[in-house]
Structure 1
Amino acid sequence: MSNIVKPRILITGATGQVGGKTIDFLSSYTSIEIVAAVRTQEKAIPFTEKGIETVILDFDDESTHIDAFKNIDRVFIVTAYTVDMLRQSKALLDNAKKAGVKHIVHLGACGPDDTTIGHWAWHQFVERYIEWCGFSYTHLRPQDFMQNLLGYGGKKAIENGILHHYVSEASMSWVDVDNVAEVAAITLALPEVHAGKTYRLGYDAKNFNEIATLMTSIVGKPFRYEPLSPDIFLQSMIEAGAEMAYMGCVYDHWKRYAAGTIPGADDTFDTFYQITGKQPVKWADFIEKHKAELDY
């Protein structure tokens, strides 16, 4: 019997899209052990049925942190998109440091180091705190998720072939969640290769008219883009009682996309090929893969 102790990797956000897919990719590595962080025992059931260890971790309950981080070597931090992420991330990192965690992979947001987009900058403050704490680290900065056009906030993003958004004719940089998760898995499994790196993840630049044209061609039914004013987004968030510290930032960045005042909004990168040796998903690939979901 081998007495080799395998590195243990804790995945926060395990029940979400990126966290769940990251676990799927990590499952192919026999050199590590996966631990899924969940908020309740009920949410642990799907993982335990697959033989994946779980721990209870509540970002807002610091009494759960130390036990969750016990004997953990590496952590994937995925926080919700609210201003609370700043407080939550600091508490998580402070307690991870006390527990002896060595390597942090952080899922951040778009933008270069000098971004002035509010919620993108919040993630960069978290990145700097990770570094200040002395962790080995890899920072991931995904661009806009392609999956947002399948649905966002529990609602369909496309109705009867009509795409609505708040960015006018702006071209944006896009990434498939699967590609983000695969990069996360690799950087967690191989920190010796990826420590100290910041990876921007965006691989196809398109505006919504171009995306609608591709959907029409591939799905075989008409799609079109109808831009909406960012003010409509703001009002809908207010009426929904959303947390406006974050949604105000989102409103501001939709306005800036629409006005063309976000430098490098459509920048794309070669990081996926560098990390995986494979080509990333482009919009044509994504639409083909999700053709049945896009059909109407």
Structure 2
Amino acid sequence: MSNTAHPKILITGATGQVGSKTIDFLRSNKEIDLVAAVRSPEKAALYMAEGIETVTLDFDDERTHLPAFKGIDRVLIITGYTVDMLRQSKALLDNARKAGVQHVVHLGACGRDDTTVAHWAWHQLIERYIEWSGFSYTHLRPETFMQNLLSYGGKKAIEAGVIHAYVDNARLSWVDVEDVAQVAALALTHPELHSGKTYRLGYDAKNFDEIATLMTSIVGKSFRYEPLSPEVFLRAMQHAGAEMAYMNCVYDHWKRYAAGTIPGADDTFDNFPEITGRQPERWADFIEKHKAEFDY
């Protein structure tokens, strides 16, 4: 544990969507010591320039784990999008326990406890390992990120007002990344309030036709949805040389969304005001906030 007066909090995935937004929520908190975990000096430079401490942490290089965890009291764990997340998370948690980390906030995935969507279930196995390891914990299970309609896989998700997705007309549950990050920040700063909790985070259920209609109304340009076959996604991932053990799972869950065979795909929750004291972002607000990015 930290020998300082303030708890020391480590953010993994610090340059990603949720990690960077969590740091934004924490950076002005004078009651904690904040540390950003990065994989390279180049990525460290951004945070070092802002006066935020950084450490090198490579999930695949166990030699970096214990030095990164030195003095850390609490950690946000955000894993990568490969089947290696299982091995990586176990090694990371084993070393966090050796280093004396007390509280783990884990960014998981969608799904009810009995999910059979493979990569969602993998996250739940990590949740169980966190509990078995004896940590104080908070599990976060965000539904589909609204930001996926700004970009997905490093590419624009909407071209000239046309939205493409692989789920036919399925209704999904959605959450703003910033709302997920705020819950993560609160769980890290107040583990006494959030320990032992599993928070499912999804607050607006809509299909893509409904989202396109909202965009048309708010942005003032025409938007429409054109569904794509999940086979298009599969071929794109194969062509890109992606890690297919994970991407085959994603392909399968697109098919199941489209077929309507994922129970609770449009589940929404009322926990956000109790956790944060405010209302969650919903689609109309999100589109208004990002109107300039959606414009074309």
TM-score (norm 2): 0.98
Instruction: Write the mapping of 1:85-124 to structure 2, written as runs, cut at 5 A.
Output: 85-124=85-124
**What amino acid sits opposite 1:66 in the alignment?**
L
Deviations 1:165-211 (CA, angstroms, capped at 9, x unpaired): 11111000000000000000000000000000000000000000000
* Equivalent residue, structure 2, for 1:214: 214
- The alpha-carbon deviation at position 234 of structure 1 amounts to 1.1
Equivalent-residue separation in structure 1 for 2:256 and 2:44 (angstroms) = 41
Structure 1 residues 106 and 47, CA gap change in structure 2 (3 angstroms): same
Q: Which stretches of structure 1, 4 residues or longer, exceed 6 Å deviation after superposition?
A: none
* Equivalent residue, structure 2, for 1:19: 19
Partner secondary structure for residue 170 of structure 1: coil
Deviations 1:134-190 (CA, angstroms, capped at 9, x unpaired): 000000000000000001111110000000111111000000000000000000000
Partner secondary structure for residue 81 of structure 1: coil
* Equivalent residue, structure 1, for 2:275: 275
Instruction: Write the mapping of 1:1-296 to structure 2, written as runs, cut at 5 A.
Output: 5-296=5-296
Partner secondary structure for residue 111 of structure 1: coil
- The alpha-carbon deviation at position 31 of structure 1 amounts to 1.2
Equivalent-residue separation in structure 1 for 2:239 and 2:36 (angstroms) = 35
Equivalent-residue separation in structure 1 for 2:244 and 2:42 (angstroms) = 31
Using the TM superposition, name which of 40-49 and 5-14 deviates more. 40-49
Equivalent-residue separation in structure 1 for 2:263 and 2:60 (angstroms) = 35
Deviations 1:218-268 (CA, angstroms, capped at 9, x unpaired): 000000000111111111111221111111111111111001111110010
Equivalent-residue separation in structure 1 for 2:133 and 2:71 (angstroms) = 19
Equivalent-residue separation in structure 2 for 1:4 and 1:47 (angstroms) = 21
Partner secondary structure for residue 217 of structure 1: helix
- The alpha-carbon deviation at position 4 of structure 1 amounts to 6.2
**What amino acid sits opposite 2:85 in the alignment?**
M
Using the TM superposition, name which of 58-67 and 20-29 deviates more. 20-29
- The alpha-carbon deviation at position 106 of structure 1 amounts to 0.2
Asked whether the 8 Å contact 1:230–1:251 carries over to 2, the reply is yes
Asked whether the 8 Å contact 1:10–1:35 carries over to 2, the reply is yes
**What amino acid sits opposite 1:289 in the alignment?**
K
TM-score (norm 1): 0.98
Residues matched between the structures, number: 294
Deviations 1:99-144 (CA, angstroms, capped at 9, x unpaired): 0000000000000110000000000000000001000000000000
Partner secondary structure for residue 181 of structure 2: helix
Asked whether the 8 Å contact 1:29–1:189 carries over to 2, the reply is no
Partner secondary structure for residue 15 of structure 2: coil
**What amino acid sits opposite 2:246 in the alignment?**
Y
Give the alignment's Cα RMSD to 1 decimal: 0.9
Equivalent-residue separation in structure 1 for 2:157 and 2:178 (angstroms) = 19
Partner secondary structure for residue 184 of structure 1: helix
Identical aligned residues as a percent: 76
Equivalent-residue separation in structure 2 for 1:84 and 1:172 (angstroms) = 27
Equivalent-residue separation in structure 1 for 2:246 and 2:180 (angstroms) = 23
Deviations 1:44-82 (CA, angstroms, capped at 9, x unpaired): 111111111111111110000000000000000001111
